[in-house]
Structure formats: C-alpha cells, structure tokens
Structure 1
Amino acid sequence: MSQKHSDVIVVGSGLSALLTANYLSKHMNVMVFTKSNKYENNSFLAQGGVAGAIAVTDTWQQHFDDTLVAGCEHNDRLSVELLTKLGPALLQELIDSGMRFDQDRNGNLSLGMEGAHSERRILHAGGDQTGKQLMLWLHSQISKSVTILEQETVTSLLVDNSRCYGVNTLRINGERKEYHASHIIFATGGAGALYSYTSNNESVTGMALALAYRAGAILTDLEFMQFHPTMLRVGNQIAGLISEAVRGEGAFLINNEGTRIMSGIHPQGDLAPRDIVSRAIFHEMEQGRQVFLNIENVPQFKERFPSITKMCLDNGIFIDKKLLPVVPGAHFFMGGIQTDIHGETSIAGLYAVGEVACNGVHGANRLASNSLLEAIVFSRKLAEHLLTKRIENNVMPKKKLKEFFSHRKEMITLPTKVEIQSKMMKYAGIVRHEKGLRELIAWVGAYKCYWDELDEIEVWLSLEEIELVYMLQISYLIATSALTRVESRGAHYRSDFPCLNDEWRQKRIYHQEKVKMLV
C-alpha cells in the first residue's frame, strides 16, 4: 500500500472544501479527496442564496438576532457574531474577485426574502442556482497546485499519540492507499442521505461523522436534523428541492381541500421557521391530506426559478396549474464534529468546516441561507488559523502499518441503504417519540458487532458495505441523542415532550468513543 505526504488533506468537494483548499494552496501543498466526482455534492444543489446584511436598512445585529431566534437560543453567540459580522465583507470580496450575483434593473444587488428573516438580505446567482454558480466560479479560480482525487473514499483516519496524521482510502477499483499530512480537514457535508426523503446528494450519508467518532473526536448536537418543508413530490419519490425563496416571493401552502395550512399556526405564516412549516405539512399528511405549494402569486416564476421549472417539467408537473406537490425531507444537519471557531476538533491535526462541523452557529435550527455564508466565513477562519501553525512534516506512526488481505473472512449480513433510510425517516424524522426511538435503537443496535469490529473486518468489506456500517453507527448515535433530549427544541421535536424545557437550555449532548455520552 503506497504512502504519500502533503501539507494539507481536505476531504470533501463542496464549497467549504474548495474555499479552504483555495485559500491554503497559495502557501501549502493541498490534496482534495472526494468519494464521487468533484461535482457530486450538496453545494452544487443549493438553490437558495447567501444571507448577508448588505442593504443600508439592514445590520449584522439584526441578522444576528434572526439567527438566534431561528436557532431557539441554542446557538453559540460568538460563532453567530462572527458569521453575521464578517459575512458582508467576505461576500464583497467574492464579488470584487469576479463572482456575479443577481442584480436588479438598476445594477444593484437583488436581495430576496426567506423564512424567519426580518429583512430582504438573500443574494442569489442564476435565480435558483446560487450553489452551482458559486461552485463553477470557484472551480475556475482554484489554484492549479490543488490536487483533486476523485472516486477515492477516505475509509479511516490515522491517529497516533493523540494526533491525526493521515488517512486510509479505498478507490472505486478496490485499490487501497495511505496518505500522510500535517493537517487533515473534513469538509464533507452533513448526513441528509440517512433519510429516505432528502434534498441532499446521495453520497452525503454522514460517513465522516462516524470516521471522526471512531478516531476519538467529539460529536455534538446530533439530534438536530433540519427538514426542509418543500421537496417536490412525484408519486412516492422526491424529485428535488423547491427553494424557500419561492415562498419568499409569495407562494403559499394549501392542502388538497384548498385550505391554507399555515393560517393561524405562526405569525409569519408561510415564512415561519422551517421546523414549524415541516411539522404543519407532516400533520396534514398524517391526516391523509396532500399538500401543495400554490405559486399563483409569484410573478415571472419560470424566469425567476429556471431550475425548479425544469425539474417540474422533467417530472411531468405542469407549472401552469400553479400547484406543486410537496413533502418535507432531510435538508441540513446542525450537529456534527465539535469544533471551535477556527475549525479545531478534539483531536490534534484534525479539523472540520461547513456542515460536517458543529461550532454552534446554527443552534437547534438553521436560519435559511446561512449555510453558504457559514462555508464562506469559517473556511476563511480555518485557513487563516492553519497559516499560523507550524507544519508537521515528520509525523509518522509508531505502530506497525495495517496489513491487507485479499480473502473475505466471513459472510456479512447488513441491511440495505433503503432500509436504513426508511427506519430513520420513520422513527428519527420530523416527529419523534420514545417508543419509536427505542425501536430504532434496538434495530440499529443489532448490527453493533460490525462497527465494533470494523478495524478487523474492514479489509474484507466492499466500499458499499463499509459505508453501510458507518451509516448504521451514526444512525445509532443520532437516535440515542434524540432519545436523551426530553424536550422539543428547533428541528428536534418529541411528540411525548412537545414543549421547550428550560433545564435543557444551552445544554448539549456529546458523543466520544469510549467516553460515550456527556450532558
């Protein structure tokens, strides 16, 4: 098995990964790994925009307050202050570097409104293609010194003497490799693909969370998975996301009986926080009713939302009927690998940024369009921090390297990906309760022997099987967190504990290998 060394290894291919790599590549040797191709990530799918207090009528303090309200005061206030205060200047820096955001007829930035925001502060690019446009621009800008390795999955972290010094990888052709670096950065996105209904790319299964946990890193806030209210429903399948910006421009939710479902539920109506809207739709579905997004009040829908229009047409949904069938789906993970504001984890040499990280910026429920801003702000914070650190070129393992064998030890019996997703959606989805969570924990826990023995059996597993084991392990941790938090806060809703509990205010649930759970 070959070994290679670089200054920095970045795992992931989305906005956080490439921004961090781009910043660092001017000073360091950087390698980027992605388990699919460089365009297969959530950033390319992001329809919504980037939030920033740019308008003269807006302030970072207002954005700060909106973020705390959406996050149910579970946020880390310093992280939120950095996000909202640094965001506008970094956005302007992107614009000055050539990134083009949508403008009005007068050449001014066109600012949109989205749920739970008090001002119009959302920048878009290409209408509903903000993530795609940002990524294409970034690929055109990224330094040629950055090596991007596609179809190569990181399957374990190398840790010795409490320091992470490298990764093991498995290529799609079965080739295994080992790489060493002074700094290892996870920027892999969240865990939406653990659920059957999701806006996420199918590759975003939370695998990096399990990798970090197995290496000894602390995970936190795993009970907080945000469900986006409006996924386009085609039969029993999800075709894609309908951006919250559609409701920001005047669309509203109705059921198949013609009743507006958000009337009287929340002062902001259809622009209420995502968890509230998702539960309202879920309630309608529980009553056997279908839910639609009525777009009759949205001017120039086809021009304003070209990607959504194409998605509807490709799936036989006629825009002219003005009713788009919707269902909630897993969208954004507020939990993740615990970090400070610089991306430092509890393991020396290992860092995390973007959705895979949890520095507390989103609290219990992410404010719309804060995710791309998070990537922009905290990628810069991480890069600047690493540039102040000494490069460790001689970090080498003290133990013998693992030997790999070609034969399979035993028959492995694992559930399918669809089975895992179905169980997570049913029992750890929009509405949770003790009985369902215990049933989920028992079901997932039946496979515990596989993740307990993964170090020994990994060499006989296929890439698909390795991912399934990691999916099972992180599902177990999510379900355990959801069972432990006996209240409802933000995206975490317990039907048996439906109210906020002051005793849980600012309390976090931590997971660490061998330490397990601390509250």
Structure 2
Amino acid sequence: MIKTDVIIVGSGIAALQLARQLQEHLNVMIITKKKLRDSNSYLAQGGIAAPVGKWDKVELHTKDTLKAGCHHQPEHIVKNVISDGKRIVDYMIGDGAPFDRKSDGELALGMEGAHSIARILHSGGDQTGRFMVEYLLNALDEKTRIVEGEMVFELVKNIRGKCCGVKTKLVDGSINYYPASHVVLATGGAGAVYSVNSNAPTAAGDGMALAFRTGAALSDMEFIQFHPTLLSLRGESGGLISEAVRGAGALLINERGERIMEGVHPQLELAPRHIVAERINGERLSGKTIYLDISPVKDFEAKFPSITKMCKIHQIPLDEGKIPVSPGCHFTMGGILTDEVGNSTIEGLYAIGEVACTGLHGANRLASNSLLEGLVFGERLAKHLITSNKNAPPEIMESEQCGNPPEINFNGAELKERMMRDVGIIRNEKNLTRHLNWLNARSLSFNTDLDPLSQSEIQTYLMWVVSTLITQSALIRTESRGGHIRSDYPLENDEEWFKRSILLMKENHQLKVVYDEQHQIEIYA
C-alpha cells in the first residue's frame, strides 16, 4: 500500500488548491462521497472577490468584509486573508486563469452586495465555480490519488488522541479504513440541511458532524446566510440567481412593479444579504410575489448563460423581464474552529473552506469572499503541512464510538422542512425550542456506532447532529446579528454579545457550551 501523508475529505476549491500545492511534496489522497465535481464550488455562480482593481485596496476590501460581518471577526484575520488573497489572485491572473475580460482586455470586475467598489472576478459569466474547479483539476497529476463514491463517516484517533485516519462507507455497505499522518476536512457547508437551499445535495454538514463527534470545537453555528434570490417555483427552489444579476442592474419588485428595497437600506438591492433576504421574506409572508426585474440588464442571456439555461428549463419567460425569487439557505459562516492556518483543536485534524470557522466571515459573509477563502487557506495549510509533516501515524486505536447503532426513525426530508420552518430566516425561542425538542425526541446519541448503517442512514444521522448544533447555538444567542435574526430579540446586543462566540464541543458524550472571546480557546498547532 502506498503511504498516505495527507487525506483530504472533499473536492471543492479549498481541497483542490491544497492538493495542487501539496502534490510535489507529499503523498495526497482526495476522498469524495459522490463524484469529484459534486461540490458547492462547482455550482458557484458568483466570482472571487479580490482587491485587484486600479482603485481598490486591501484596506477597503477589509472594511467591507468587517461591515458585512457585523464586526464579529478579528480585523487582523480579515486583513491578512484579503492580502494573501490578492497575491494569489494576481498569480492566477498571470498564470492564465480564465477570468472574464472586457473588449479592451481589462478584467471585467463585477459589483455585488455590500461591496463599495467593483472587485468580483468572474469566469464564463456566471460559471466561475466550474471554471475554477477545472483550472485547479488541470493542475493535478497522477501523484494525487482520487477516491470517489466513498463516504467518510468516522475520523479515527490513536491512543494519544491524534487524528490519524478515516473510515469510509461504500454504497454496498462495505467499510474501508485509510490511515494518514494528517486529515483535512474540506467538505463544504451545511446548506442541504434546509429544504430550500442553493447548495449541492452533498453539502449537508458532514465534516462539521464528524469533527464534533471526534471532540473538535465548533464555533458560530447559529450564523447561517440565506441568499435573497433563489428561483422560486411554487414553494420550491429551482436554483440560485446570482447576486451579480443585481450587481448588473436588476431590481427587486413586487407584482405591482414597486421596488421593495427603497427606504430599507442606502444600497438598495445591493444591501448586505441578510437585510435583503429579511425584506423579501417579509413581503412574501404578507402575500406578495417578489420578482427580479432584469429588464435594466443589457445582454442578460450572454452575461448569465447558466441562469438563462436554468430559467428556460423551468419555463420562466425571460422576455417578460421578471424572474420570481425567494430566499433560501446559502452559506454557513460557522463551522470547525481553526487558527489562521487550518489547525483544529484536535491534533492531526485540519479544516479549510466553508466547513471551517476561520474568523473571516463574522456574522454574515461578504459576497464572493468564500472562493477567496478556499484559495488562501488551501495554500496556507499546504505550506504548514510541508514544513511540519511527521512520520507515519503511531499505533491506531479502535473507534471510540460505542453503544448500539442508532435507530433512524425519521427521514431527512422531514428534518429539512422543520429546519426551514423553525430555524430559518427569522427565529424565535418558541420555534427553536420546538425544533430542539423534536431533535431530542429522536433518542439519538453523539457517541454511537455507525458501522452497521447504510450511507443514507449515516447521512440522515449526521444531519441530525448538525441540526442540533445550529439550533442550540441559535437558541443561546439572544440577539439579532448578521445571518442570525431573532424576532424576539430584534436588535444587536453589544453589551452581551459583541465579538463573543458560542463554541460547541463533545465532552463525556454530551454537548458542552463554551463562550469564546474572539477565538481565545487553544488551537492544537
């Protein structure tokens, strides 16, 4: 068997950037539960935010990020990520990455919500994620081993508590064990635990649940971003309508043609996402239908080919200039607590991309900062692992999970509907408590043997874990801030909650809550 130095779980931008940087130095394996291109990154319509324009600066991008995140993040972390991101994007531009350009050859920089200047680099109009994934995949060679169709369902530790491998479940029920010196979770966010979402079906919070069960600390799980504009199809979502459409001039209107963002925020349609989503949600609850008026956007079909294709599939008549929209779950700001490299609180376990809580996004992610984050932390962690790689993992111990296998007495669709209803855009104590009581009534444990379960049963169980963590955090934070909106606590409470995070971890098989002042908890590094 070929020795594996680094196992990367997931295949999005962060994972591929890490593998690209590592492959000349260490033996790397990528494991993905479906196909290599099944990721949120591949679906990303929006672009990469970076201060590469003539009039843009790192400081300005930092200011916009802090403002969008309600200053719930350390300024130095934000500034350093954006500074690294600018350097990486400048390199990619020189390397021939397929960014869109204007007729004069200059980069076509787009505008999106809460940005003060046009700084969004796009590829293929609204197909940036696909283009970037292919760009990174083309840089991989045979030295990076790729395992598809295997679901990582347990992280394995040795007798010292170091993470040193993973167990995977195949569709036929068989189990594989892969040892490695380092395990990196790059599994994406948890949007798929909601019934209306923009995410790939695979993005159901697996990595967060795996890390929690292993004892790692998670942070800011209550901060969930709901994208304002998903294609609305009689109560269901047909897919994402990128914020770049509003950046290109589209307007939010009701069925009478009235603009709904006037008088709500100075940036109108380009206000921070939680403000736009809350407004649309309120209008819809009052019985109104909300549309994106795309008539001001010149050459819409050429600029947004994938959105055009999606609308035509669902028989939306674009010649009428109106696309029906509603909010849906889009991004998870919280996740596995890490330092500025990607170390978690467990030795040998790392997290990068949306699965991680790095301190960049705060209470609400600034549009198009996510792909930038993946590129930055993929590179940072690669440098760290190359310089700190140790010998093969020590003696492996048996799984610490015990007890009878859980009985999954509910289905994932039911959980998703309940999450959307009770832990959705607008929250309150009554609904959060109702959902937490329902989760507790499933009689499941955080410390249980998953070996006998099928892939689908494991997926439902892991969704239960993540749903519990999100709901518990949302119930504890008694204020409204960023992506966390409480109707019973409608204002920010700086006296109690400013720059204060809720950390969740497993202790003696139970959920332990810790209050963290700006990531002061010890990170294993």
Classify the TM-score, shorter chain.
over 0.9
- Tell me which residue corresponds to 1:326: 325
SS at match of 2:180: strand
CA-CA distance at 1:236 after TM superposition: 2.1
Q: Distance in 2 between matches of 1:473 and 1:390?
A: 32
CA contact (8 A) 1:116 1:273 kept: yes
Q: TM-score under structure 2 normalisation?
A: 0.95
Matched, 1:518 2:510: no
Q: Distance in 1 between matches of 2:406 and 2:429?
A: 34
Q: Which amino acid aligns with 1:18?
A: L
CA contact (8 A) 1:196 1:421 kept: yes
Q: Distance in 2 between matches of 1:213 and 1:358?
A: 13
Matched, 1:472 2:464: yes
CA-CA distance at 1:462 after TM superposition: 1.2
CA contact (8 A) 1:165 1:396 kept: no
SS at match of 2:388: coil
CA-CA distance at 1:251 after TM superposition: 0.4
CA-CA distance at 1:451 after TM superposition: 2.9
Q: Which amino acid aligns with 1:181?
A: A
For residues 285-309 of structure 1, what are the alpha-carbon distances to aligned partners after superposition, in whole Å with 9 as ceiling and x for unaligned? 1101111100010011010101100
- Tell me which residue corresponds to 1:419: 414
Matched, 1:227 2:221: no
Alignment of 1:303-318 (within 5 A): 303-318=302-317
Q: Distance in 2 between matches of 1:33 and 1:499?
A: 43
Note the residue ranges of structure 1 that are not aligned, 5 or more in a row.
Answer: none
Q: Quick check: 252-261 or 266-275, which moved more?
A: 252-261
- Tell me which residue corresponds to 1:450: 444
- Tell me which residue corresponds to 1:107: 105
Note the residue ranges of structure 2 that are not aligned, 5 or more in a row.
Answer: 516-525
CA contact (8 A) 2:165 2:183 kept: yes
Q: Distance in 2 between matches of 1:453 and 1:513?
A: 9
SS at match of 1:325: strand
CA-CA distance at 1:5 after TM superposition: 4.2
CA contact (8 A) 2:183 2:349 kept: yes
Q: Distance in 1 between matches of 2:406 and 2:481?
A: 42
- Tell me which residue corresponds to 1:118: 116
Residue 151 of structure 1 is aligned with which of 144, 149, 152? 149
Residue 71 of structure 2 is aligned with which of 62, 70, 73? 73
Q: Distance in 1 between matches of 2:505 and 2:407?
A: 26
Alignment of 1:14-413 (within 5 A): 14-160=12-158, 161-397=160-396, 399-400=397-398, 412-413=407-408
Q: Which amino acid aligns with 1:177?
A: N
Q: Which amino acid aligns with 1:426?
A: R
CA contact (8 A) 1:364 1:489 kept: yes
Q: Distance in 2 between matches of 1:130 and 1:157?
A: 32
CA-CA distance at 1:335 after TM superposition: 0.2
CA-CA distance at 1:257 after TM superposition: 2.5
Q: Distance in 2 between matches of 1:93 and 1:326?
A: 37
Q: Distance in 1 between matches of 2:398 and 2:107?
A: 57
CA contact (8 A) 2:45 2:129 kept: yes
Superposed structure 1 runs of 4+ greater than 3 Å apart = 399-404
CA-CA distance at 1:396 after TM superposition: 2.0
Q: Distance in 2 between matches of 1:402 and 1:49?
A: 42
Q: Distance in 2 between matches of 1:36 and 1:194?
A: 17
For residues 447-486 of structure 1, what are the alpha-carbon distances to aligned partners after superposition, in whole Å with 9 as ceiling and x for unaligned? 2x3334522xx22211111111111111011101000000
SS at match of 1:16: helix
CA contact (8 A) 1:26 1:143 kept: no
Q: Distance in 2 between matches of 1:87 and 1:400?
A: 41
1:189–1:489 CA distance, 2 compared to 1 (3 A): same
CA-CA distance at 1:388 after TM superposition: 1.2
CA contact (8 A) 2:232 2:238 kept: yes
CA-CA distance at 1:400 after TM superposition: 4.6
CA-CA distance at 1:403 after TM superposition: 12
CA-CA distance at 1:319 after TM superposition: 0.8
Q: Which amino acid aligns with 2:505?
A: Q
SS at match of 1:328: strand
Q: Distance in 2 between matches of 1:493 and 1:411?
A: 33
1:403–1:131 CA distance, 2 compared to 1 (3 A): closer
Q: Distance in 2 between matches of 1:275 and 1:28?
A: 42
CA contact (8 A) 2:14 2:353 kept: yes
CA contact (8 A) 2:213 2:447 kept: no
CA contact (8 A) 2:169 2:176 kept: yes
CA-atom RMSD, angstroms? 1.7
Q: Distance in 2 between matches of 1:301 and 1:438?
A: 44
CA-CA distance at 1:141 after TM superposition: 1.3
Q: Which amino acid aligns with 1:430?
A: I
Q: Quick check: 188-197 or 235-244, which moved more?
A: 235-244
